[in-house]
Structure 1
Amino acid sequence: MVCIGCSCLDPDRSSGRWLPLSEKKTLRQIARPFVADPASGVCIRDRLKGLTPEDEKVLRMVGEHMGSLASRDLKARCADGLEHSMDTWAARKRELTAESSSRWAGSVTGATHAQWGLSRRAQFAHIQGLEAGTMIIRHRLSLPVGERGARKAPGGYRSAHEWFVKSRRLAALEDRLEWVRADREAGRVHVVRGGRKLANTRYNLTAAGLTEAQWRDRWEAARWFLSAAGESGKRYGNETIRVSPDGEVSVKLPAPLAELANSRHGRYTLAARVSFPHRGDEWRDRSSANQAVAYRIHLDVERDRWYLDASWTRKDLPVVLLDTLRSGGVVGVDMNADHLAAWHLDVHGNPVGEPRRFDYDLSGSANRRDAQLRHALTRLLHWAAGTGVQAIAVEDLDFTDSKSREKHGRKKRLRQLISGIPTGRLRSRLLAMCAEYGLSVIAVDPAYTSLWGDRHWRKPLTTKTRATSRHQAAAVAIGRRALGHPIRRRTAPPRAHQSDVHGHRTAQAGPGDRGREETRRPVTDRSQELHARTGNQRTRATSASKTVRDARSDRVDLHGHS
């Protein structure tokens, strides 16, 4: 028997059942918004035009020689594993110095440590993905076949055959997880200089459309090492690859190739000159002041072009407080798989003007996808800077556990949609480009932004001439959360004949109101508050009698006669 009127039960809309209030679903804790750290690194590129055949020959020889040393050093670092120390690092550097130079050896060992650390982080992320996959499979295998899943929890498998196949996959994932964990405990990492993808292409040249000679050229160019770290206080900020403010490029040759030098002190000066059209003035100021600038020379085999990259670190970035950024309003941005939905909000959280949509197409090569993102972000930031805001609000998305195919089962389109959202690349691009426009990035918790934006803001913002989309409403929700305002609006009170005549009207909850981001307690939960305050005894002060006899006796006592 279900006591529908009792305060101990409440309906659960997702399952259609009545659940105790202690078992009712609650909203998860929403994290506070924060200001994302701006990108402190700068990298620019220019083409080395006018190289002579002798220049290209020297660059190939230096890259091949230093690449072999880098491969050998990486192998030694991987062999050291967790037993690495400053003594082993110094021993490796002394060995490399004898075959190159002290600065070349420092650049090689620094790149080796960066590569080893990146591999360790990727290994840890791989372990997390395997753990999430095995946990979901175990959960689904424990359910009866055909059982439907909840909103955020997958159900059982559809058939006994699928259950059997997934049980075998669970065994394979557990075996792989055990193998990766053993590697991590032993400090072993698996690194391929030149890239594992390019290495595997060697065994499938027909599908890649390459010949063996073309693949060999790409493989060798990818394994060359022509990078040099900068040094402050040295001439033009780099002694190994020196670039003067007027664009002259010279390379310090390794000891075995010193006879190829065409300049003093064992240096080779290239015939090509660089100018760096983008941010060239900033680069010339650093080079003239002898501040550290790192350089990298590389060859694009497909285009047969040589390029020079210059990079440095900016340490004078200002730190802006969150309250200061909120003072001018924000631009809320909702990131999607094919576009960015944006809306300008004032300091009070009200949408201003019309929403904006910035499309991009992420099909094709990696370079084309990156260009599409940069073009969309350029249009977004140009418009945001024109609105006068100081910050852009985005969701702190990751989707680490949502990309697993074990969680979504046969929902292939959903998995492709989640995986297609370029969260990592877009976040890094946005931070780097916002620094150039003088804007900051406020990251907010992504919980319920699309749901509440669609429920509370899509309909009020829809007019006869404007159809507000779900993503544009989510942009409003993101912006309001970044400003510190609640997303959800209070609901209208019941009708006069169904409740206490009039309650609070439909309005926005104040910033200091308790439970402003939570649902109102059900009426059955508040029905006993009166008895809790006055006790169980009924009095005339708390409740008037509804009988005719009591009403007459009241009138008699009031006037003093019957």
Structure 2
Amino acid sequence: MADLRPIDAPFVVLGPSGVAIRDRLKGLTGKDEKVLRLVGDHLGTLAGKDLKARCGSGLDHDTNAWAERKRALTAASSSRWAGSITKATHDQWALSRRAQLAHIQGLEAGIKTIAHRLSLPLGEKGSKRAPGGYRGAQEWFTKSRRLHVLLDRLERERGDRATGRVRVVRGGKRLLRNRHHLDAAQLTEADWRQRWEAERRFLQADGESGKRYGNETIRVTPGGEVSVKLPAPLAHLANAKHGRYVLAATVSFPHRGDTWRDRITANRAVAYRIHEDVDRRRWYLTASWTIPTARTMPLTAARVNGIIGVDTNADHLAAWRLDEHGNPVGEPRRFTYDLSGNIDHRDAQVRHALIRLLHWAKRHALNIAIEDLDFTAQKTREKHGRRKRFRKLISGMPVAKLRSRLVSMAAELGITVVAVDPAYTSKWGAQHWQRPLTSTNRKTTCHDAASVAIGRRALGHPIRRRTAPPRNDQSDHRGHRTAQTGPGTRGREGTRPHIPGPRTRSEGAGRAANAGDQRAQHRPGHATEPAQPMLSL
């Protein structure tokens, strides 16, 4: 037990802080699409120049520099377009800084692992907590060269972070690299150019509370009419008053449309983004707004009537219902999904699996317990070496996206999500629960047993089962030890205390502390009263 790392306490996950809904712009004319492309390309050019200026200032940027950048953009667009561009630039630079820090931490972890393995003799076996030496001299030499490469990268990244320099690609680094590998990406140069231009357009505007319908730049009426405030150089394309262009398409927002309509009717802020799906040749409008974070349910209230433990895997969610004492109830459930194919297919698969899980939890009026997983430091090839298949497996698990989507969907149904420490859940679940829960009619997998371990940890019960009692006639005739104890009981996972006495055969009769007065125990052959003296005749 001394080698086990500390287990963090379970906690209730906070609910979502924002809402985003999307609808298709149906019925756009050729002129509408042309105007949207012209506006998006013009604003995208301004956004690129502003991002260059922001990255150039580095850590010396302040509010005065921000105001100067906004004034420079206002002349070529408008004050509101300039505000949206500068805010998006600031957010993108901050995101790049966080990604830079994560990259530095990954390089440090890789360097530490390689240095440790290089210090060990060739072929030395490792343990579960520390890798062993490299297999041969060739691999040792290759890794020694890679160590110097990583050290150079780390030095360069640390220098960039100290000076505030980040590397950002508007449109995405992956799409930029596809330009040099069109055959592998199965794209023509024209297709790539169309995607590249669509990703670099800028057609998003932040909302303003108190303004008409919550947004003056991209305005959507309760009836679904969409109009765009044109930048100053493109004002001649307007088909409505005050330099606005009204699209022929309308939106209705089938999902949460009533909430959105109530919000814009009250002139509350709503942000909009117009974007083109090149593959489908469709245009979409996304509306988003912030919501106050709901008060979370206390952990003690979330444990009432039990919980549903969920184990996340690469192709399914293993779930089991537990009562308030931590005992499995009913049969285990499995919610499968297929993560092959494009991103839209994977997203739909995860969404369908989660909604089935949530509907099952809603029927039983129970909350859900999941693992607080983070594979950021577990995906490097330096940690797992030749285990490419395992690295690919954990890299394909959408733990971050699955958790965020689960929390947002559960909040709509009034279900609380409890996160627990993932340490030893799979190991102890398989060790203590897989075999006892397996029968002739049910084959319990290690993932099912892990879901039981997750649920018990969320309920505050220990995962490990108590040891089996001794054989008959040695202690209590197979009683007492397998009974469930409360979470506050001290030593609930330990062995029974040693009580000397005749029942444990450790000391002779009458010598132990619990022997007591043998005459006062109403045993056959023993008098309950003191013997009377005999009278002599």
Pairing 1:65–2:65 present: no
What is the DSSP-based 3-state SS (H/G/I as helix, E as strand, rest coil) of the residue aligned with 1:246? coil
> Which of 422, 434, 438 is equivalent to 1:462?
438
2:458 counterpart of 1:482? yes
1:141-194 per-residue CA deviation (whole Å, 9 max, x = no partner) reads: 111000111122111111111111111111111111111111111111000000
Kept after mapping to 2: 8 A contact 1:493/1:505: yes
Q: Distance in 2 between matches of 1:206 and 1:490?
A: 60
1:431 paired to 2:407: yes
Matched, 1:453 2:425: no
Q: CA–CA distance in 2 between the matches of 1:140 and 1:499?
A: 51
Which residue of the partner structure matches residue 279 of structure 2? Answer: 302
Bigger mean CA offset, 241-250 vs 363-372: 363-372
Structure 1 Cα separation of the partners of residues 481 and 214 of structure 2: 66
Displacement after TM superposition at 1:52 (Å):
1.2
In the alignment, the residues of structure 1 paired with residue 327 and residue 30 of structure 2 have an alpha-carbon distance, to the nearest angstrom, of 63
Q: Is contact 1:449–1:478 with CA below 8 Å preserved after alignment?
A: yes
CA distance in 2, matches of 1:495, 1:315: 59
Please give the alpha-carbon distance, in whole angstroms, between the structure 1 residues aligned to 2:459 and 2:475.
Answer: 35
What pairs with 1:252-401 in structure 2 (closer than 5 Å)?
252-315=229-292, 317-389=294-366, 391-401=367-377
Change (3 A) 1:363 1:496: same
Deviations 1:18-42 (A, max 9, x none): xxxxxx8532211100011111211
- Does residue 233 of the first structure (1) align with residue 182 of the second (2)? no
The separation in 2 between residues aligned to 1:202 and 1:456, in whole angstroms, is 53
Q: Deviations over 1:422-470 (max 9, x none)?
A: 1111111111111121111100001111111112222222222111111
What SS class does the counterpart of residue 475 from structure 1 fall into?
helix
Q: Secondary structure at the match of 1:178?
A: helix
Shift of the alpha carbon at 1:515? 4.5
One-letter code of the match for 1:473?
A: A
Paired residue type of 1:55: D
Return the offset for 1:403. Answer: 1.2
Separation (CA, whole Å) in 2 of partners of 1:487 and 1:333: 15
Which sits farther off after the overlay, 303-312 or 407-416?
407-416
- What does the per-residue CA deviation read over 1:256-296, in whole Å, with 9 as the maximum and x for residues that have no partner? 11111111111111111111111111111111111111100
Is the CA contact 1:344–1:387 (under 8 Å) kept in the aligned structure 2? Answer: no
Q: Deviations over 1:92-139 (max 9, x none)?
A: 111111111111111111111110111011111111111111101111
Q: Is the 8 A contact 2:322 2:455 kept in 1?
A: yes
Output the CA distance in 2 between the equivalents of 1:64 and 1:310.
21
Q: Does 1:159 align with 2:127?
A: no
2:484 to 469, 490, 508: 508
Alpha-carbon deviations, 1:61-93, whole Å to 9, x = none? 110110011001111111111111011011111
Q: Which runs of 5+ in 1 are unaligned?
A: 1-23, 531-539, 544-562
Q: Per-residue CA shift, 1:506-555, capped at 9, x if unaligned?
A: 233431233546x659xxxx99x99xxxxxxxxx9679xxxxxxxxxxxx
Match of 2:149 among 164, 172, 176: 172
Q: Is the 8 A contact 1:41 1:313 kept in 2?
A: yes
Distance 2:345 2:485 in 1: 46
Cα distance between partner residues in 2 of 1:402 and 1:520: 36
Whether 1:212 and 2:189 are equivalent positions in the alignment is yes
Is 1:128 the counterpart of 2:105 in the alignment? yes
Q: How does 1:37-76 map to 2 (within 5 A)?
A: 37-76=14-53
Asked if structure 1 preserves the Cα contact closer than 8 Å seen for 2:16 and 2:293, the reply is no
CA distance in structure 2 between the aligned counterparts of 1:139 and 1:508, rounded to whole angstroms: 44
Change (3 A) 1:497 1:378: closer
Q: Conserved in 2, the CA contact under 8 Å of 1:490 and 1:509?
A: no
Q: Which residue of 2 aligns with 1:546?
A: none
Which of 102, 120, 123 aligns to 1:146? It is 123
2:325/2:484 contact within 8 Å kept:
no
Q: Counterpart of 2:207 in 1: which secondary structure?
A: coil
Moved more, 207-216 or 128-137: 207-216
Partner of 2:526: none
Looking at structure 2, the residues matched to 271 and 129 of structure 1 have their Cα atoms a distance apart, in angstroms, of 50
Partner of 1:17: none
Distance in 2, Cα, partners of 1:440 & 1:341? 18
- Distance in 2 between residues matched to 1:510 and 1:347, nearest whole Å: 11
Other structure's SS at 1:111 match: helix
Q: Once the 2 structures are TM-superposed, how far is the Cα of residue 324 of structure 1 from its aligned partner? A: 1.3
Conserved? CA contact 2:15–2:293, under 8 Å: no
- One of 388, 393, 398 as aligned partner of 1:417: 393
Q: Which amino acid aligns with 2:446?
A: R
1:399 and 1:270 map into 2 onto residues whose CA distance is 45
SS of the equivalent of 1:310 reads strand
* Number of residue equivalences: 505
How far apart, CA to CA, are the structure 1 residues paired with 2:339 and 2:185? 20
Give the AA of the match of 1:57.
K
Deviation (angstroms), 1:497 = 8.8
Aligned partners of 1:225 and 1:512: how far apart in 2? 57
Structure 1 residues 92 and 520: CA distance shift in structure 2, 3 A:
farther
Which one-letter code corresponds to 1:35 in the other structure? V
Instruction: Tell me how far apart the structure 1 counterparts of residues 293 and 123 of structure 2 sit (CA, whole Å).
Output: 60
Q: Normalising to structure 1: TM-score of the pair? A: 0.86
Percent sequence identity over aligned pairs? 68
DSSP 3-state at the match of 1:258: helix
* Compared CA separation, residues 500 and 322, structure 1 to 2 (3 A): closer
What is the CA-CA distance between 1:323 and the residue it aligns to? 1.2
Q: Distance in 1 between matches of 2:184 and 2:174?
A: 13
For the structure 1 residues 268 and 500, does the alpha-carbon distance in structure 2 shift closer, same or farther, using more than 3 Å as the test? Answer: closer
C-alpha contact (below 8 Å) 1:489/1:507 kept by paired residues = no
**Paired residue for 2:180, among 183, 191, 203?**
203
- Contact 2:11 2:420 (8 Å CA) reproduced: yes
Any gaps of 5 or more consecutive residues in structure 2? 501-509, 514-537
Decide whether aligned partners of structure 1 residues 421 and 292 sit closer, same or farther in structure 2, where only a CA change above 3 A counts: same
SS in 2 for 1:468: coil
Residue 188 of structure 2 aligns to which amino acid in structure 1?
T
SS in structure 1 at match of 2:287: strand
